[in-house]
A and B are shown apart, each in its own frame.
Chain A
Amino acid sequence: MSAVDLEHAAAEVRRLVGQMSPLGPREPASEDRIIEDLGYDSLAIVEMAMTLETELDLDRIPEEAAIDVVTVKHLEELVIGILRRREDAS
């Protein structure tokens, strides 16, 4: 998976996180905190994680990994990690 593909995936994560923000659609930065800055609560994070799975055609995001997500950057890294593992396995 090329660096361009990975950057595209990260951009998609930012787009979806911003689009689903309970505070209203916005363009989040990677450093933004999901709960404190973007207004997500636990249920909204669950919904967002499942949307990422569908929209980015991901294997399932482990619930435990979602617990650890604090910033948008963490979520980008989580998604990129899943994509990399999928490529390594193929």
Chain B
Amino acid sequence: MSGVAAPAAAGWLASLEQLFAIPPEYRRLDAPRAHALEMLRCTEATLDALVAAGLPCEGPPGDERFDGNDLFNVALYSSSRASVPERAFQFVLRWMTDPSDSWFETRRWSFSLELTPDGRSGGASRLLLARPRPELLGGRLLDLESEPAEAAAREGDIVADGVDRLTLRGRIETTGARMALRSPRLRDIVEEFESTPYRWLKLPEQLQRQPERLLPHGVATCIAASLHLERRCHDAGLRARTRRGWVLGMLDLAHAWLEVCDDDGVVKTIDPIFALLSSLVDDPNPDFRTACRGSRLNRLLATDHRADEPLELRLLDGRSAPVRRKTVIRRDRSAS
């Protein structure tokens, strides 16, 4: 590491120092150095400094391979304001800075989702996608079609057998509702979680399903947090369940949250990770954190799946196989 590079690398090294590195059993060292430089938008010298300071990698100097999640996480907290993760989050979460009424108004969206094999195709293949259920959060499904057509015709998940492509297109209406938590027990559970300085990280889903491995390290993801809070609510005698879905916006962000039956009999949405993510945006609306404690936001598209279930799946000869998802989400401004 050169003396010239040191000051520029300071934010990066501080981020690395706090990094919860992907554990070896989940680590995939398949991101080449060129990809790392593209994502981090840092100098070669800074990347060398990160490698020297312990950023997990393999391969000879100058030709290292990294874990994509480690790169994403070290960039997100680098304070460089230039890396792809920082810039992407700054943009796609801007709606958290908007006036609060915008989170609750009724909106229409169109979407298309396409699943294709990532890698080897052929064999006895099944593609599966969780069915969008906007009605679970007060919205409605306006239309839905799939290719192959029969995939969406059945109840439950969208399933296609023996094909290399599953496409789902539809229009939905979402809406929000301001709500507050009534139950003192529930409020205590949420406040206890919020008072812990957790840090959100991008992690493999299997790891996210083990909150006991993450929370003690100050790491919380939507899946881990909702599973943890579900357990705490059950222990306190509250009816609660986790739910998976998507965040409607520029990027197709998979998400998970908790739904709890409050003392007034109304099911409330608890989303502490949204609250946490809002701290990554410049000037978030201070009401946003409050909205994450009980209110329903028009940005969520629900499914029937629980936090520890995948939203999409590809089975090849009965075994889980890599799948690629392509999503386009737009506001639908056509007449009803």
A interface residues with partner B (beta carbon < 8 Å) = 35, 41-43, 45-47, 49-50, 60, 62-64, 66-68, 70
Contact = CB atoms under 8 A, between A and B. Distances in A.
A63 B94 contact: yes
Contacts of A67: 249-250, 329-331
Given A35-B328, A67-B329, A45 B94 contact: no
Interface stretch (B51-59, B84-92, B203-211, B219-227): B84-92
A64 B87 contact: no
A63 B87 contact: no
A43 B84 contact: yes
Classify the secondary structure of B's interface with A: mixed
Given A35-B328, A68-B331, A63 B250 contact: yes
B136 to A, nearest CB: 23
Contacts of B327: 42
Nearest to B85: A43
B189 interface: no
A28 B330 CA distance: 22
Given A49-B91, A50-B91, A68-B331, A63 B249 contact: yes
Given A35-B328, A67-B329, A67-B330, A43 B94 contact: no
B92 A63 contact: yes
A62 B94 CA distance: 7
Interface in B309-336: 326-331, 333
Nearest to B88: A46
A47 B250 contact: no
B161 interface: no
Given A47-B84, A67-B249, A68-B333, 6 more contacts: A42-B252, A42-B327, A47-B88, A63-B91, A63-B93, A67-B250
Name which of B93, B250, B329 has the most chain A CB atoms within 10 A of its CB. Answer: B250
B251 interface: yes
Contacts of B333: 68
B246 interface: no
B198 interface: no
The 7 A-B pairs with the shortest beta carbon distances in the complex, nearest first, are A63-B94, A46-B91, A42-B251, A46-B88, A50-B87, A42-B250, A67-B331
A79 to B, nearest CB: 15
Contact of B88 (A43, A62, A64, A68): A43
Contacts of B330: 67-68, 70
A60 B94 CA distance: 10
Given A42-B252, A63-B95, A47 B87 contact: yes
Contacts of A50: 87, 90-91
Interface string B210-254: 000000000000000000000000000000000000000111100
A70 B88 CA distance: 19
Nearest to A35: B328
28 contacts: A41-B326, A43-B84, A43-B251, A46-B88, A46-B91, A46-B251, A47-B84, A47-B87, A47-B88, A50-B90, A50-B91, A62-B94, A63-B92, A63-B93, A63-B95, A63-B250, A64-B95, A64-B331, A66-B250, A67-B249, A67-B250, A67-B329, A67-B330, A67-B331, A68-B330, A68-B331, A68-B333, A70-B330
A62 B249 CA distance: 11
Contact of A46 (B92, B326, B328): B92
Contacts of A45: 250
A60 B326 CA distance: 27
Contacts of A60: 94
Contacts of A62: 94
B251 to A, nearest CB: 5
